[in-house]
Structure 1
Amino acid sequence: DRDENWIDELEIDTEELKDIWFIVDHFHSLHGLAHTYLTFEFNDGTCLSFSFEARRRVKHRYHPWDGLWRNYELYLLVALESDMTGLRTNARGNKDYMFRAITPPEKDKHMLLRMAEKANNLAQNPEWYHSLLTTCNTSIVRMVNRVTPGRVPFLWRNFLPGYTPRAALKLGLIEDWGGLEATLEKARIDVVAQQWDGKGSYSEMLRRHLPASTIQEQQ
């Protein structure tokens, strides 16, 4: 059982945005079936996650087949990282990876603003979720290309999120921590997350085990 604790308002300053993280959540035994979302980290330690999801009815489990036939609405869930990622790493025990994104100067702030606008737009103008065309990952791709046109090309891996790290690394969308295999090894967070005692900062603990940023040096 988990207690619900809602935050009605959270003030953030785009000028204090430190990093964007790309998370790949392997919730299924089939490697390609995974969930992806973004986390925005701020200088004060706040980590806010944005996740495109299929809105399910009560007691209705998600199934890709159902998602092909307008059974789910698309919505953008916004939550603290400790809740969104903690649910996956600790409560569900999924295999999760967390990569630091590389963004052109100022584009990170634009991405945050576009995500916030999208959340508001979906609340006013609902859209259908589609298991191939409008998913967690394809929605992120659209947002990235809206901020930086043409940044992510059409790739089959866009439709199988579990394989996105290879493409993201090749395209320079995430930091290279020593090649694909080394990057995957260093990016894995579920084993570390499961050591969290619930008392300290979940987000801070994760980042102690991740490589330091090289983005500022690259810029």
Structure 2
Amino acid sequence: MAFFQIALLIVLGLLTLGLGLWGGLALWFQLPGPAWGRMLASGLWCCMALSAYAALAGAPGHWRWALPAFALATLAMAVWWHGIRPSHEREWADDVARMLAPQVQGDIVRLENVRNFDWRTETDYDISWESRQYDLAQLVSADLLLSYWMGPAIAHTLVSFGFADGRRLVFSLEIRRERGEAFSALGGFFRKFETVIVAADERDIIRTRTNARGEDVYLYRLQLRHDQLRKVFLGYLERASQLRQHPRFYNTLTSNCTTIVFELARRLSPALPLDYRLLLSGYFADYVFDHGVLTPGYSFAQLRQAGRITGRALEGSAQGDYSRLIRQGVPGVTPLELGQDPLQP
């Protein structure tokens, strides 16, 4: 009996400490006001958790009241947390100020609010939102893009779709930042950001990462049939419509730029397994390679080396045939896509 009592106390103690850490971070990321106020609230919460832990550990005297007090505080915290709701009504940063509005009629897709900014620096840019129309019957390719911004294990995941007329459209699930707000991977666990699907021109969404932010970008051709391309493309539009109707929070672990690609891929292959590379998104292309969806006949190292487009992206301007330039030498890209005669050796 004593063993089970000790085990229960250990579990309750770890739970109390865990709640203390979680609650402190939740207050830090969610409370309004200056940093000192949020720090004070987080500190008081952690002190309450430590007091409750001391009571569990058998501290004498008044400590015994700390446990029921912390239990009531936890209940109040749960009610407060449940009441935090995502919203479309905030003062958004320019690049996520508008939400994609798709309309699909058969093969014809009409899109409102396609982003096509001209980026000079991260804070110096020309704003441009466009209305575009695409014919899904002309959908011919898809490329996976990984943009590395924090070491080799973390990258932002994008998918670029190509059409027979040479046009391309990139989809990206991103945090919807408020004006002046910066991304925080830790804050992404605590309902700090809403989610938005961005549809953008390649000259916008790739150049902002290579040229404006100094990120390192890799491009891989995906081996998908036309029906699969269509299903993934429409999957992004479906998610965009859902977010437009019902705002959702971004979550660093469960609802991010990589998990949406995985979710859409599972519509094509339901047996795709979960993998640590879905969290460590910098290795996601390696996961895709293992499942035979990248260009065959090459090792992953060869595909990665040939797919590094950062240098070409930095050299290319917003004018001209930017998409052809960045795909020079990428395995799986056809000569026709590059503007070359396919009959030439």
Q: Give the TM-score, by structure 2 length.
A: 0.59
1:38 aligns with 2:163: no
User: What is the CA deviation profile of residues 118-145 of structure 1, one whole-angstrom value per residue up to 9, with x for unaligned ones?
Assistant: 1111111112211111111011111221
- Residue number in structure 1 paired with 2:269: 148
Sequence identity of aligned pairs in percent?
A: 28
User: What is the CA deviation profile of residues 76-116 of structure 1, one whole-angstrom value per residue up to 9, with x for unaligned ones?
Assistant: 11111111111112222211100011224511111111211
- Residue number in structure 1 paired with 2:319: 199
CA contact (8 A) 2:309 2:327 kept: no
Cα distance in 2 between the residues matched to 1:23 and 1:184: 11
- Residue number in structure 2 paired with 1:6: 129
Bigger RCO of structures 1 and 2 (CA < 8 A, at least 6 apart): 1
CA contact (8 A) 2:221 2:331 kept: no
- Residue number in structure 2 paired with 1:131: 252
Cα distance in 2 between the residues matched to 1:159 and 1:167: 11
CA contact (8 A) 2:303 2:330 kept: no
- Residue number in structure 2 paired with 1:76: 197
Q: Could you say what secondary structure the match of 1:157 adopts?
A: helix
Matches for 1:109-188 after TM superposition, within 5 Å:
109-150=230-271, 152-176=272-296, 178-188=298-308
- Residue number in structure 1 paired with 2:107: none
Cα distance in 1 between the residues matched to 2:144 and 2:303: 13
Cα distance in 2 between the residues matched to 1:32 and 1:15: 37
CA contact (8 A) 2:147 2:218 kept: yes
What is the letter of the counterpart of residue 289 of structure 2?
Answer: L
Cα distance in 2 between the residues matched to 1:195 and 1:105: 32
Cα distance in 1 between the residues matched to 2:227 and 2:203: 26
TM-aligned CA deviation for residue 148 of structure 1: 3.4
Cα distance in 1 between the residues matched to 2:206 and 2:153: 19
For structure 1, the 5+ residue unaligned runs are: 215-219
Cα distance in 1 between the residues matched to 2:246 and 2:270: 24
User: What is the CA deviation profile of residues 48-71 of structure 1, one whole-angstrom value per residue up to 9, with x for unaligned ones?
Assistant: 000001112211111111000111
Q: Could you say what secondary structure the match of 1:53 adopts?
A: strand
CA contact (8 A) 2:158 2:172 kept: yes
Cα distance in 2 between the residues matched to 1:148 and 1:104: 13
For structure 2, the 5+ residue unaligned runs are: 1-123, 335-345
CA contact (8 A) 1:32 1:163 kept: yes
Q: Could you say what secondary structure the match of 1:154 adopts?
A: coil
Q: Summarize the Cα distance change of 1:105–1:19 in structure 2 as closer, same or farther, 3 Å threshold.
A: closer
TM-aligned CA deviation for residue 181 of structure 1: 1.1
What is the letter of the counterpart of residue 204 of structure 1?
Answer: R
What is the letter of the counterpart of residue 167 of structure 1?
Answer: Y
Q: Which has the higher helix share?
A: 2
- Residue number in structure 1 paired with 2:208: 87
1:103 aligns with 2:224: yes
CA contact (8 A) 2:147 2:156 kept: yes
